Amino acid sequence: MEKASTAFSASIFTAIFLLVSTLYTQGVEGSIIGVNYGTVANNLPPPEQVARFLSESTIISSVRLFDTNADILRAFAHTGIAVTVTATNDQIPNLTRIDFAQEWLKFNVRPYIPATNIVRIFVGNEVISTANKLLIASLVPAMETLHTALVGASLDRRIKISTPHSLGILSGSSPPSTGKFRQGYDTHVLKPLLSFLRDTNSPFMINPYPFFGSSPETLDYALFRPSSAGVMVDENTKLSYTNMLDAQLDSVFSAMKLLGFSDVEIVISETGWPSLGDSSQVGVDAESAAQYNRNLMQHVTSGAGTPLMPNRTFETYIFALFNEDLKPGPTCERNFGLFRPDMTPVYDIGILRSTVAAASKFHHAAYFSVLTIGLLIISNHG
């Protein structure tokens, strides 16, 4: 009887410990959620106000800039927020020269560190998708030369170099196990690029947008909604996909693996969902945008990974911080923002600190309640 009692107490304690651990670790992992801070607008608040808002009122810990705006870089000084800056596409050919790369660092990076926490430099944006032969041929040499300049300035351990890609770099992506890079670019551009990333311990950056791949039939699949129709089975691996983002990420992973670079980390440099669009588009409303970004955050921080990359999290940058009223193109392009220019949320996805504080308070209360009840059960049984 004593052995049975001891076993019962041990099993109860184990169950309580697991439950407590689950409660205590739930919540949004702010450390790997960032935001794209675009400025193609004429009504945005001053950078100082934006930096203060992000650091004091949100859980956002990382920001990506599409240039090296001096006012923004100064504004983020002493906030602790990790900042990614961008050398624009037109600068890429010149960055293949070491003198230009050194001058670029001297004027665009070095004056702001360490006060501003610059951690990454993007060389261009979606360069391969431009089909510009000069830019594409110059991309990897520019990254290598800029890295050499970082080494010379003793900044290579602090600042990493990469470049974001659209899904247009893939020639095949369905099913995910057949993902491969476009012929010609695979061996001449992406293989040396991935080799550089591996050698410098830098991630491969990808911009997956389930929104642009969705249709009325696949909307649930794109929005992470549980649905019998929202499941795809890869006939090669027999793995099931319950959301489009996982399928897109695994297609990129398969293409990298085909070249021998499955060990290079993947980071989501852009993804998002518009809250407004044209009548011909499906799912362009605030509710769908909130659902996508909320489910996105939960998924990439959960540790579940993807079918081909299980048990991992993904550093992710949501597009975008603000609605940008001067962006060209269809209506949706101007309505990807999490916030309006007055910094009120377009919709709530739980990144404001008040929301996080409330959730944290609940989990702490639940933690101690479950622990107390569990100890009482064991004590009474004993």
* Residues marked as catalytic: 126, 270
Task: Name residues whose C-beta falls within 8 Å of residue 182's C-beta, 6 or more positions apart in sequence.
Answer: 128, 168, 169, 170, 171
Q: In what helix (H) or strand (E) does residue 286 lie, and over which residues does it extend?
A: helix 286-301
Longest dimension (CA), the chain: 81
Write the DSSP string, 81-107: -EEEEEE-GGGTTGGGSHHHHHHHHHH
Task: Report yes or no: 156 and 229 within 8 Å, Cβ to Cβ.
Answer: no
Task: Report yes or no: 115 and 83 within 8 Å, Cβ to Cβ.
Answer: no
Write the DSSP string, 117-143: -EEEEEESSS-GGGT-HHHHHHHHHHH
Could you give the angle at which helices 353-381 and 2-25 cross, rounded to 10 degrees?
A: 180
**CA 161 – CA 166 distance, rounded (Å):** 17
Q: Can you say whether the dihedral through the CA atoms of 272, 83, 297, 28 is positive or negative? A: negative
**CA 297 – CA 287 distance, rounded (Å):** 15
E strand segments, 186-283: 204-207, 232-233, 240-241, 266-271
E strand segments, the chain: 33-37, 62-65, 82-87, 118-123, 160-162, 164-166, 170-172, 180-181, 204-207, 232-233, 240-241, 266-271, 316-318
Task: Report yes or no: 145 and 109 within 8 Å, Cβ to Cβ.
Answer: no
DSSP 8-state assignment for residue 332: G
Locus of tokens 């309505």: 335
Q: Which of 165, 150, 169 is nearest to 95 (CA)?
A: 150
Angle at 263 between CA 258 and CA 268, to 5 degrees: 90
